[in-house]
Amino acid sequence: MSISHRIVLSSKVIVPLLLGIVAIGLMQFTFAEELEEVTFVTVDEEKFKQPESKYSYQQLIISGFIEDYSRGSLITFVIILPDESQIEISTYAARNGEIYMPYHITDDSVIGIHKIILIYHDEEIASTSFEILDNQ
């Protein structure tokens, strides 16, 4: 096979390969853009050991995004503890709809699965959960 045939064959392989890479890159960019537009709530860790001392705590970060957030509108987190009791925390999102809220886990925190519900305009719009494990 001559050098000119090798160049033609390699260009026949390289061009479609490059086009495929560009297409995949564009699809990933489009998918990432779509993800930013979806309302969600999440936690930075799903499992925590209950602190052993009343002088220490662990910090859970609740974060997320609210699609079509109106600047200055109140949002509420309802945290449902394993014993079915509830904690309500009201706050605001950033003007672009991003949510960031620290929450402390202490030696008094109830062991088990805690559900977090995000409420906006009196409507449940997202939820997640985390678990506190016995420190034993």
Q: Could you tell me the residue ranges of all domains in the chain?
A: 40-133
Q: Cα angle at 65 between 60 and 68, to 5 degrees?
A: 155
DSSP state of 53: S
Distance in angstroms (rounded) separating the CA atoms of residues 124 and 115: 13
Burial of 108 (0-12, 13-18, 19+ CB in 10 A): exposed
pLDDT at 65: 95
Buried b (16+ CB within 10 A) or exposed e, 55-83: eebeebebebbbeebeeeeebebbbbbee
Structure tokens at 25: 């890159």
Assess contact for 41 and 63: CB atoms under 8 A: yes
Q: Which CATH number fits domain 40-133: 2.40.50.140, 3.40.50.170, 3.40.50.300, 2.60.40.1930?
A: 2.60.40.1930
Per-residue pLDDT of the chain (136 residues; tens, 9 = 90+): 555 555 554 556 565 555 556 556 555 555 555 555 799 999 999 998 889 888 889 999 999 999 999 999 999 999 999 999 999 999 999 999 999 999 999 999 999 999 999 999 999 999 999 999 998 7
pTM, rounded to two decimals: 0.71
pLDDT at 135: 81
